């Protein structure tokens, strides 16, 4: 049995990526509104009555408005997958990272409302949560997270600035230390102490590296880097999309997973110095956005489709 899906905000980067992934899947029918009716609440409400699921690829305020429209439909309301940051830590929403813990995929499968993770948060949570659950990291540990993303993660204006050559080759941002992904990193990474998160953007379109440095002797039980890697490997042993690499790389670039829904985790360690760095690599438009959304859609609709 197929499913009818409406992507609310299809003209944005994430919406276009989801539509492109779904267009070739015969079990999916994409519904839409004419350009002139996209901001017409009555027309949107009528369409929502006739779809199985709506994907929200909207600014925060607009996403909340669409959720209110859905709520007003009662028994005719479709299920919701929100790809914005509006509901990632909101009560009543299931976090759309199927690999989070055992049973998370089943929660997504049966949920009426799922919130797609943020790109940076995907990498950070994937690295932190298994270590918290395994007792190798405490919830009050002072965590520092650094990350670099391709410019497509910054929206239409940033994309235009980079593609016109008016943006710098590299820049730190979020230096007020109030980045919108921090609450979900804390909530789903298992942290009680707010981490220091410093994101950056560079002059490449897609790709992402998220890194977390650790002093091993400051961790419970003073583990080795190999112990951290083993905890990650155990958590994701059965995952289709998350893998723990064990190669001896001394350099790492951010773009090799572009176009995929893969998430690659590594632990780099120096036992003599008792230091380690956790690193996650992903496509910020793949597992960090559109690919993850399609993975969640497949679970919610009971379809065996590849992101």
Catalytic site residues? 119
Q: How far apart (Å, rounded) are the C-alpha atoms in residues 49 and 58? A: 19
Among 190, 191, 277, residue whose Cα is nearest residue 228: 277
Residue 97: Cβ-neighbour burial (10 angstroms; 0-12, 13-18, 19+) = buried
For the packed helices 291-301 and 13-23, what is the interaxial angle rounded to 10 degrees? 50
Dihedral angle, C-alpha 298, 19, 159, 283, nearest 10 °: 30
3-class DSSP state of 305: coil
Q: How far apart (Å, rounded) are the C-alpha atoms in residues 14 and 18? A: 6
For the packed helices 60-71 and 41-48, what is the interaxial angle rounded to 10 degrees? 60
Q: How far apart (Å, rounded) are the C-alpha atoms in residues 142 and 158? A: 31
- Tokens standing for 99? 């690999």
**Residue that the structure tokens 């999309």 belong to:** 241
3-class DSSP state of 27: coil
Q: Count how many Cα atoms sit within 13 Å of the Cα of residue 13 in the half-sphere of its side chain.
A: 20
Q: How far apart (Å, rounded) are the C-alpha atoms in residues 236 and 272? A: 28
Q: How far apart (Å, rounded) are the C-alpha atoms in residues 57 and 48? A: 15
Q: How far apart (Å, rounded) are the C-alpha atoms in residues 81 and 116? A: 7
Q: Please give the backbone phi and psi of residue 275, each rounded to the nearest 5 degrees, phi first.
A: -130, 155
């Amino acid at each position: 049995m197929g499913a009818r899906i409406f992507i609310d905000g299809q003209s944005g980067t994430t919406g276009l990526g989801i539509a492109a992934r779904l267009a070739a899947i015969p079990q999916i029918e994409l519904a839409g509104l004419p350009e002139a009716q996209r901001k017409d609440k009555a027309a949107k409400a009528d369409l929502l009555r006739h779809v199985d699921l709506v994907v929200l690829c909207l600014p925060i305020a607009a996403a909340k408005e669409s959720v209110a429209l859905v709520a007003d439909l009662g028994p005719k309301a479709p299920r919701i997958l929100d790809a914005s940051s509006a509901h990632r830590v909101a009560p009543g929403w299931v976090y759309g990272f199927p690999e989070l813990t055992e049973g998370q995929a089943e929660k997504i499968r049966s949920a009426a409302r799922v919130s797609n993770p943020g790109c940076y948060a995907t990498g950070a949570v994937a690295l932190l949560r298994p270590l918290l659950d395994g007792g190798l990291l405490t919830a009050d540990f002072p965590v520092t997270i650094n990350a670099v993303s391709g410019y497509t993660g910054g929206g239409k204006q940033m994309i235009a600035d980079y593609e016109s050559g008016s943006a710098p080759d590299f820049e730190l941002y979020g230096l007020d230390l109030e980045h919108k992904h921090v609450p979900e990193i804390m909530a789903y990474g298992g942290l009680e102490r707010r981490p220091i998160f410093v994101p950056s953007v560079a002059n490449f379109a897609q790709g992402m590296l998220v890194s977390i440095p650790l002093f091993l002797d400051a961790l419970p039980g003073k583990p080795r880097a190999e112990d951290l890697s083993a905890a990650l490997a155990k958590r994701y042993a059965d995952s289709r999309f998350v893998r723990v690499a064990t190669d001896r790389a001394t350099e790492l670039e951010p773009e090799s997973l572009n176009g995929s829904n893969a998430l690659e985790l590594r632990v780099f360690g120096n036992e003599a110095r008792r230091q380690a760095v956790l690193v996650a690599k992903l496509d910020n438009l793949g597992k960090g956005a559109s690919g993850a959304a399609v993975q969640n859609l497949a679970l919610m609709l009971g379809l065996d489709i590849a992101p």
